[in-house]
Amino acid sequence: MSLWRYANPAEFMRVSGAALPACWALAAAALGAGLAWGFFLTPDDYQQGATVKILFLHVPAALMAINAWLMMLVASLIWFIRRHHVSALAARAAAPVGATMTVVALATGALWGQPMWGTWWVWDPRLTSFFILFVFYLGYIALWEAIDDPDKAADLTAITCVVGSVFALLSRYAVFFWSQGLHQGPSLSLDRQENVHDVFYWPLVLCIAGFVLLFVSLVLLRTRTEIRLRRMRALEAIEARG
Amino acid sequence: MTPDLGPYAGTVLGAYGVTLLLLGGLVLVSVLRAGRVRRALARLEAGRARDG
């Protein structure tokens, strides 16, 4: 069985239609359980007090902001190489979801930073690269809206996506490149010593799973909408030709 | 049951409020748009089937 069969719009609609209810249910369950666990059942941090509860929003949102762009990059490369329309439409569908995740990460980061750092914002390497990533999201969405020819729009947005990937990766690794920033190192690591404490770790993992499932659900739903819109435009074009 | 958030109550509740508002809004907009487009396509296809 080949993965490429999902590039067929009819096959994609069939499989995604069957998978979507389960994705929504799992997303709601993981997010509900993770956030409730994190908010109600975790203790205050000895340094950060109750603000540590923002961890369960900020980290998953930041992770998805970056990974959404990387998913768009993969979809864009598939478009470049194999010219599958579903992959271009999936990249387009993911952009507003990734942009929203970026706003959530920036907003929760600012709210967290104010009491901990004494400032809402600082031009720290990670924050700055994240802000630039957000601007790329806006540019990517605007480019899709601005170009009438869908294939040309897919080509140009794919190029934007490749260029923006530099900032997506910088957002992830900026703390390793530059040590002068205020932002702390990663909350999760393969090295157990560097991880957050176990009492925060499991609800955080559950929240990350919830954000991933929410992202998948939204992208599937929005890609289905983009496929239907494309079919509508094709039918309208046929009717217009008489 | 409700945790004592102390002096950070506004900060923490604000963060949860902003997140739920943004993600809830995105889900709502996506679902409404999906329904609107699905109905419009169904109407278009029904019209074409009727007209042969």
Q: Which of B1, B11, B41 sits opposite A232 (nearest CB)?
A: B41
Task: Give the three-class secondary structure for A74.
Answer: helix
Query: What is the SS3 assignment for chain A?
Result: CCHHHHHCHHHHHHHHHHHHHHHHHHHHHHHHHHHHHHHHCCCCECCCEHHHHHHHHHHHHHHHHHHHHHHHHHHHHHHHHHCCHHHHHHHHHHHHHHHHHHHHHHHHHHHHHHHHHCCCCCCCHHHHHHHHHHHHHHHHHHHHHHCCCHHHHHHHHHHHHHHHHHHHHHHHHHHHHCCCCCCCCCCCCCCHHHCCCHHHHHHHHHHHHHHHHHHHHHHHHHHHHHHHHHHHHHHHHHHHHC
On whether the CB atoms of residues B20 and B28 are closer than 8 A, the answer is no
Quick one: pLDDT at residue A168? 78
Q: What is the pLDDT of residues A73-91, one digit of tens each?
A: 999 999 999 999 999 999 9
Q: Which of A96, A225, A239 sits opposite B37 (nearest CB)?
A: A225
B2–A49: do the CB atoms touch at under 8 Å?
no
Q: How far is B21 from chain A (nearest CA, A)?
A: 10
Interchain CB contact of B28 with A (< 8 Å): no
Confidence of residue A158 (pLDDT cuts 50, 70, 90): very high
Whether complex ipTM tops 0.85: yes
Which residue on chain A is closest to B27 by alpha carbon? Answer: A218
Q: Which has more confidence, A170 or A225?
A: A225
